[in-house]
Amino acid sequence: MTSTSLTPTRADAVIIDYNGVLGRQPTSAMWTRLADLAEWPSGQVASFQDAFWAPREAYDSGGLSDLAYWAKVLGHHPGAWWLRTLRTADTAMWIRTDDRVLDILRRARATGLPMVLLSNAPAYLSNVLDATGWRRELMADALYSARLGLCKPHPAAYEHALTATGITDPGRVLFIDDREDNCQAAAELGLRTLHYTGQPADLAEQLLSVGPASVRPTAAPRGTSR
Query: Closest Cα to residue 67, out of 84, 49, 90?
Result: 84
Q: 28-72 pLDDT, tens per residue?
A: 999 999 999 999 999 999 999 999 999 999 999 999 999 999 999
> Residue 223: what pLDDT?
34
What mean pLDDT do residues 17-23 have?
97
Q: 154-207 pLDDT, tens per residue?
A: 999 999 999 999 999 999 999 999 999 999 999 999 999 999 999 999 999 999
Query: Closest Cα to residue 15, out of 167, 154, 134, 118?
Result: 118
Q: Model-level pTM?
A: 0.87
The SS3 call for residue 220 is coil
Q: Are 193 and 219 in contact (CB under 8 A)?
A: yes
Q: Where along the chain do its domains lie?
A: 13-24+97-207, 28-92
> Residue 8: what pLDDT?
57
* CATH number of this structure's domain 13-24+97-207: 3.40.50.1000
